[in-house]
Chain A
Amino acid sequence: MATITTSPTQQRAIEMNVLARKQRSLWQDALWRLRRNKAAMLGLAIIALAALMAIFAPWIAPYDPTVNDTAHNNMDPVFVGGQFTNPKFFLGSDELGRDILSRLIWSSRISIVVGLVPTSLVFVIGASLGMLAAFYGGWIDNLLMRFTDIIYAFPDLLFLVIIMATLRNSPVGDIMGGLLLMFVALAIVSWVGLARLVRGQVLSLKEKEFVEAARAIGVPTRRIMARHLFPNALAPVIVALAFSIPGAMLAEATLSFIGIGIKPPTATWGVMINEGFVVFSQSPWPTLLPAFCISIVMLAFTFVGDGLRDALDPRMKN
């Protein structure tokens, strides 16, 4: 049988035609677009790697990240060469002789957790309150809007700095080395933005015909919210959450860098930069290596966030 040769463009057209014939939901469509986005896929791969590192930290880290070895402190990474290296410490050691590689690996745990937990809290609180405010209006809506006015007058970091700095030495601040306080602080700062977003979405959606139709055939309010309004408002919410994860990670790193975040000796990239900066002019590696890690992870999340936005709302793309 003679094969028909097709150019790549024709091939694409054929594939698209085939794909177009099958009925695809918005989500399948978005997934298909996301898969074709190379930067987003690279970002996802990096995030997956970081997540694996975080999950298996106790097994892959060569040493305990908090054990000091003052006899071998301030070692350079092996690849730098010179007399101040030690094959025991592949990426060198910090001023207390702790293994930097192990600390970097354990830090990914904190970063992932700090990214995910507050974002989940923000999603639950923000989405439900935003939806309630939009659907019922009245005093709930007014209260929410006045509250957002106040929160918006506070820059996020200003608020975080106040909460962390004042409550870090209280009993609450001691739970899980300051992690719990960090979760709460981040959730308080961020839920308002999401609530406002959901409110806007629902306000415009609830005037649409399909909601009217649902109401006309007697669908109960709660079911309209859960089955009609929520899924339709979800796309921009997902994008917002995708950006909220790296936002939370950055906030943790920044606060820990200023010295009011997670408490030492817990290793986080921000804590490592803060401690490394003290000996920066003698040995830059304890500072540069965590700085590199956080930058890579932040870039990965930005790629994925941008990819999700383009995939879920193709009209936004230029």
Chain B
Amino acid sequence: MLQYTIRRLILIVPTMFFVALITFTLAHMAPGSPFDKNENRPMSQETIDRINRTFGLDKPIPEQFVIFLGDAVRLDFGTSFTQRDRSVNEIIGQGLPVTAQLGVQALLLSLAISLPLGVVSALKQNSAIDYGSLFFATVGYTIPSFVIGIVSIFLFAVWLRWLPIIGWGDLRHMVLPTVILSLGPAAVLTRITRASMLEAIRQDYVRTARSKGLREQVVVVTHVMKNAMIPVATIVGPVTAGLITGSFIIERLFSIPGIGRLYITSIEARDYPVIMATTLLYAFFIMVANITVDLVYGVLDPRIKLAK
């Protein structure tokens, strides 16, 4: 177990290296320089050269990459190209709490929706509740989040005027983004919960528990649910990744000042330091989530061998 954990943790390093390499190459492959945007007032060649020297862009790209790696190891990602008086860490430090709050709220909400829904629909298979939750799961899984977002902005903000359209700050701003971001994960989790509950209900140990006269409630909670939650736990890793990519769209749609929106604007502006830092942050986060899930899986289900 410990050996496995260490091995997985060590593997983070080469993976991060390749993520950095791929992103760096792609970002620098794009034509033009980050500083020649203003076509009406083109900068003189000297100015461009000076800026490039300041940011180290005059060096060959492989050398730039080595310098970047050296700094990144010390968690120094330099200054942003677009907001030149601020360091990348400062900018990310400002956006991260917003994105984290949105993500955690959405994750909790999706668990709060999907677990009861999945459990109940499995216990009452083929009932109206079951069909309702399957319908919800299909729609939530299928309809793109930006479509649901647009329709709900239309309904609640434009038409009914109950909620503000965009922005971030008080609770009223958070309702729509949180709910919409949680729908996709909630749909996936509902499907998994229902399927794994149905699987667990049919196991022999459940029949044994019933036949020795345990109350139905006890059977469901301690025998069925306890075992059915194992596959659900494993899906939390992919769900986290889904929340991260989902937040790009939701933050863009609702103009939320988190790192999802920052990520997209920095790519458009070719703000290399911000692109690199956010990509690595995302990749790191997803890897840690996946490792955690695998470890939790091993603890929950002793039959799983983690050594390989």
Contact = CB atoms under 8 A, between A and B. Distances in A.
Interface string B217-260: 00000000000000000000000011011001100100000000
A84 interface: no
B165 interface: yes
Contacts of A163: 26
The DSSP consensus for interface residues of chain A is helix
A125 interface: no
Interface stretch (B74-82, B84-92, B280-288): B280-288
Interface in A150-184: 150, 152-158, 161-163, 165-167, 169-171
Given A162-B267, A260-B268, A284-B158, A167 B245 contact: no
Interface string A215-258: 00000000000000000000000000000001000100110011
Interface residues of A, number: 41
B282 A158 contact: yes
Interface stretch (B138-146, B175-183, B299-307): B138-146
Interface string A286-318: 011001001100110010001000000000001
B11 A167 contact: no
B154 A298 contact: no
Of A166, A253, A280, chain B has the most CB atoms within 10 Å of the CB of: A166
A280 B30 contact: no
B245 A155 contact: yes
Contact of A280 (B16, B23, B154, B275): B154
Contacts of B18: 150
B154 A284 contact: yes
A55 B15 CA distance: 44
Nearest to B287: A153
A250 B147 CA distance: 11
B297 interface: no
A15 interface: no
A90 interface: no
A133 interface: no
Contacts of B139: 299
A171 B286 CA distance: 33
Contacts of B158: 280-281, 284
Interface string A126-147: 0000000000000000000000
A131 B126 CA distance: 40
Contact of B165 (A253, A281, A284): A281
Contacts of B163: none
A53 B85 CA distance: 53
A34 interface: no
B29 A155 contact: no
Given A161-B248, A280-B153, A295-B144, A167 B26 contact: yes
Contacts of B125: 318
B123 to A, nearest CB: 13
Given A169-B32, A258-B249, A295 B147 contact: yes
Q: Which DSSP category, helix, strand, loop or mixed, fits chain B's interface?
A: helix
A150 B19 contact: yes
A254 B11 contact: no
Contacts of A171: 31
A173 B263 CA distance: 21
B96 to A, nearest CB: 16
Interface in A170-204: 170-171
A288 B150 contact: yes
A150 B248 contact: no
Contacts of A150: 15, 18-19, 22
A295 B26 CA distance: 32
Contacts of B129: none
Interface in B260-308: 263-264, 267-268, 270, 275, 279, 282-283, 286-287, 290
Nearest to A152: B290
Interface string B19-52: 1001100110111100000000000000000000
Given A163-B26, A277-B150, A288-B154, A154 B283 contact: yes
A299 B150 contact: no
Given A161-B263, A162-B275, A250-B144, 6 more contacts: A152-B290, A161-B264, A162-B279, A166-B270, A257-B249, A273-B147
Closest 9 CB pairs of A and B: A157-B245, A165-B267, A166-B30, A291-B147, A302-B142, A155-B241, A155-B245, A150-B18, A153-B283
Interface of A: 149-150, 152-158, 161-163, 165-167, 169-171, 246, 250, 253-254, 257-260, 273, 277, 280-281, 284, 287-288, 291, 294-295, 298-299, 302, 306, 318
23 contacts: A150-B22, A153-B286, A153-B290, A154-B22, A155-B242, A157-B245, A158-B244, A161-B267, A163-B26, A165-B267, A166-B27, A171-B31, A254-B144, A258-B248, A258-B249, A260-B264, A280-B158, A284-B154, A295-B142, A295-B144, A299-B139, A299-B142, A302-B138
